[in-house]
A and B are shown apart, each in its own frame.
Chain A
Amino acid sequence: MKWVGFPVGRVPDGPGPAVVAGGSSILVRGGPAHSGARPRSDGVARSTVSPAAAAYPVSMREAIKEAARGWLHLTIGAAISLFCYLMVGVALFTAFLTATVIGAGVLPESVLLLRRMAGWERRRTAAWTGTPVPEAYLPLEGPLPARVRTAVTDPGTRRDLVWAAAQLLYGSVLWYLSLIVWAPALLVDGVWTGLAGRRPVALPLIGRLAGLAADWSRALLTPTPSAARDAALAARIEQLTATRAGAVAAHGAELRRIERDLHDGAQARLVALSMRIGLARRVYDSDPAAGRKLLDDAQTQAEEALAELRHVVRGIHPPILTDRGLTGAVRALAASSGLEVAVSVTGLADHTGTGDGHDRDASTGHGHGGNGSAGHGTAPRAPAAVEAAAYFVVAEALTNAAKHSGAARASVGLARERTGLRVHVRDEGRGGAEAREGGGSGLTGMRRRVAALDGTVRLTSPEGGPTVIEVELPCVW
C-alpha cells in the first residue's frame, strides 16, 4: 500500500487500471498533469501539482529515499538468503540424521524453523506490496512419528524448501545488482534531473529490483488453492478432534457424576427405605408403636429419595426445557432469578405465558387462548444438547448476577443465527466476574459445557461492570 508511486514491474493490486510501468513513467515524465491513469500514485499527485522542472529536487530526493527503501528490502532479503544457505545445510543435515533414524526428532524442529523463516519473508513481502501472502501449513502435533510424517508430507515443507533454495540465489543476486546500480544510478539521475530537469529514471531501478524480489517470493510462497484447502481442513479436523475429545471427556464425567449421585443418593435411600419397611413388618404385631415409627422414617426416606431424583434429573436435562422449549425455560429462569430481567428472542419459537401461541398439537390446547397466535409455531428448535447448554449458561449467568454483581436488572438475548444459537446475558452490576473467587467454578463449568458443543464463550466483566457473557453454540437448524 505504502509504495505504489514508482514504476516497478509490479502493478499494485487495486482499483486503478493496470498501467505498464515503463509507460507510466513516460507519461509522468511527459508532464501532462491529467494522465489520470494512476489514481493512487503519489507520482501523479506530484506531477499534477507542479511542473516537472520545479519539482526536480523533490523528485530526486524522493527517488533516493525510495531507492534506499528498496535497497533495504533487498539487503534484508540478502540476509535471509544467508539464512537460507544455513537452512539448506540444516535441511541436508536433518535429512542425514533422519535417514539414520538417530535424529528424527530434529526434523519437525527444522521444519518449524523453516516455517518461521518463510513466515518472515511472507510478512516482508506483504509489507512491501501491501497485499498479504497467504500461509497454509498442516499443524505439527501429536507424537513424534506423527510429527515427522506431517513434516515430510506437508506440501508446505516442499514449497518452503523450494523457496529457500531460490531465495538463496535471487536474494543475493538481486542485492548484488542493486549494489552495482547505486553509483551509476546516482550519477545518471543527478545529471538527468539536475541538468536536463527530468525526472529520475535510474534510481527507481532499485525499487524495481525489490519489487521483483517480492514478486518471486510471493509466487514461491503462496500455497496452491488445494494446499490452502488442505491446511484449512486439517486445522478444522484438529479443532474438531480436540473438541470431540473434550465432549467425550465431558460426557464421561457427566455420566460418572450422575452415576455417583444416584448411587450415593436415591439408591442408598431406597435401600434404607426397604430396610425400614422390612423392620416395620417384623415388629408390626408385637410393637405397633415401633412399627409406626419405622414406617414414618420409611416415608421420610422415600420423600428424600424423590427429592434427590428430582435434583439429578434437573442436572441432566431440566424438565421445563422439554415442556416449554428454550424460550419458555429461559423466561421461567428470568422470572425466578430475583432480578428484573428483559428477555429478547430472535428467530426462535416463543410461547410466552399461559399457553397462547404454543406450537404443539392442537389437541391439548382446546381453544385456550388460541393456538399458535404469533406465527412462531413453526420455528425450529435447537438440538436438545444445545438447548440444555444455553439453559445452563443463562441459569449460571443469572445466578452469578443475582449473587455477586449487585445488579437489580439484567438482560438475556437468545438469537437464532444461520450457524447456530447465540446467547447473550448482560447485567449492570459491579463486574469483576473473572477475578471473583468462587465465581470461577461455575464459569469453568459453563465454558466446558459450551466447548463440548464446539461453541465459544466471551466474557467481559471489567471492575465496575457491566458483565457481559456472549455464547455461541453452533448447530444446524
Chain B
Amino acid sequence: MRVVIAEDNALLREGLVLLLTSSGHEVAGVAATGPEILPLLLEHRPDVAVLDVRMPPGFRDEGLRAALAAREALPGLPVLVLSQYVEETYAAELLGGGARGVGYLLKDRVGRVDEFLDALERVASGGTALDPEVVTELLARRRDDPLDSLTPREREVLELMAQGLDNGTIARSMVVTERAVHKHIGNVFAKLGLPPSDGGGHRRVLAVLAYLDA
C-alpha cells in the first residue's frame, strides 16, 4: 500500500515510517505541518492517509480538519486519524461523511503493531476502525434496558462491532468460532431492535453507532 503520513513529532514520524516500510508498505510522502497535508495527498493520492490530529502551526486540530478537507476533495480517500486522546465529537465529525474508509485511533494502538496494521488495511479497503475508548465512552453513557439485557459476551461482540471489526477478526479476538460470533451478533441485533445485518463493514458500524448515540 502507498501511505502518506502526517505527524509533526519526528520520533513518532520516523517510528511510523519504519513500521510501515518494514511491514511491506510504501511511504509515499510525509507531512510535518498541517498546511502541507492536503497538497501532499492531492499529489500522491495514496491508498490510505495516516494523520495526526494536532499539528503545527496552530497545534490544535489541523490534522482532523485536513482529513475532513481531504475526504471532500478526494471522495473515498481512506483516512486513519491518530491522536494522543480521543473525543467522541471528533469521531462523529469523521464519520459524518460516511464510515467508509475512516479510522480514528489513539496513538497508543500503534504499539500493537499487528492490530494497528490490521486496522490500517481495513480502513484502506473501505472498512472502519474506531478506537475502543470511543466505543467504551459511548457504551458507558447509555444505561438503558436493551443494553443491560445483553450478556457479557454479546456486549463484547457489540463493542468489537462498533470498533469496525469484521466477524472473522471478532472471532479470533474472542477465541470463538465465527459461527458463535454470528449467533451473538444475531442476538445483539434482536435485543437492540436493529434490522439484521450480515458480515462486517461500515454499514453495520454506522447502525451500531447510531444506536449507541441515540
Binding site for B on A (CB under 8 A): 299, 302-303, 306-307, 310, 313-314, 319-320, 322-324, 328, 331-332, 335-338, 353-355, 358, 360-361, 363-368, 402
Between-chain CB contacts (< 8 Å), 30 pairs: A302-B111, A303-B111, A306-B106, A313-B84, A314-B85, A319-B84, A320-B87, A320-B89, A322-B59, A323-B53, A324-B60, A324-B61, A332-B89, A335-B88, A336-B88, A338-B141, A338-B142, A353-B93, A354-B96, A363-B34, A363-B57, A364-B34, A364-B55, A364-B62, A365-B65, A366-B35, A366-B66, A366-B69, A366-B73, A368-B65
A368 in contact with B85 (CB, 8 Å):
no
Contact A368 B89 (CB under 8 A): no
The answer to whether B85 and A319 touch across the interface, beta carbons within 8 angstroms, is yes
Which residues of B in the span 53-79 have a Cβ within 8 Å of any Cβ on A?
Answer: 53-55, 57-62, 65-66, 68-69, 72-73
Tell me the smallest distance from the CB of B40 to a CB of chain A, in Å.
Answer: 12
A302 contacts across to B, CB distance below 8 A: 108, 111
When C-beta atoms are compared, the residue in chain B nearest to A362 turns out to be B35
A367 surroundings in chain B (CB, below 8 A): 69
Contact of B14 with A by CB under 8 A: no
Asked, given contacts A303-B108, A354-B96, whether A364 binds B141 with beta carbons under 8 Å apart, the answer is no
Specify which of B57, B60, B68 is in contact with A322 (CB 8 Å cutoff). Answer: B60
Determine the distance from Cα of A314 to Cα of B133 in the docked complex, in whole angstroms: 15
Tell whether, in the assembled complex, residue A361 and residue B88 are in contact, meaning their CB atoms are under 8 Å apart.
no
Asked if A364 contacts B66 (CB within 8 A), the reply is yes
Q: Which of B's residues lie within 8 Å of A, judged by CB?
A: 34-35, 38, 53-55, 57-62, 65-66, 68-69, 72-73, 84-85, 87-89, 92-93, 96, 106-108, 111-112, 137, 141-142
Contact of B141 among A306, A314, A366, A402 (CB under 8 A): A402
A interface, over-half SS: helix
The 6 closest A-B pairs by CB, nearest first: A368-B69, A332-B89, A338-B141, A363-B35, A323-B61, A364-B62
Query: Contacts of B142 on A, CB cut-off 8 Å?
Result: 338
> What is the distance, in angstroms, from A308's C-beta to the closest C-beta of chain B?
11
The distance from the CB of B142 to the nearest CB of chain A, in whole angstroms, is 7
Given contacts A320-B87, A364-B62, contact A306 B34 (CB under 8 A): no
Which chain A residues lie closer than 8 Å to B96 at the CB level?
354
Residues of B within 8 A of A361 (CB): 57-58
Q: A306-B108, A314-B85 known; A354 and B93 CB under 8 Å?
A: yes
A273 to B59, CA, bound (A): 30
B85 touches A364 (CB 8 A): no
Closest to B38 in A: A366
> How many angstroms between the C-alpha atoms of A307 and B108 in the bound complex?
8
Report Cα–Cα, A142/B179, bound state, in Å: 77
Q: Which residues of A contact B87 (CB under 8 A)?
A: 320, 332
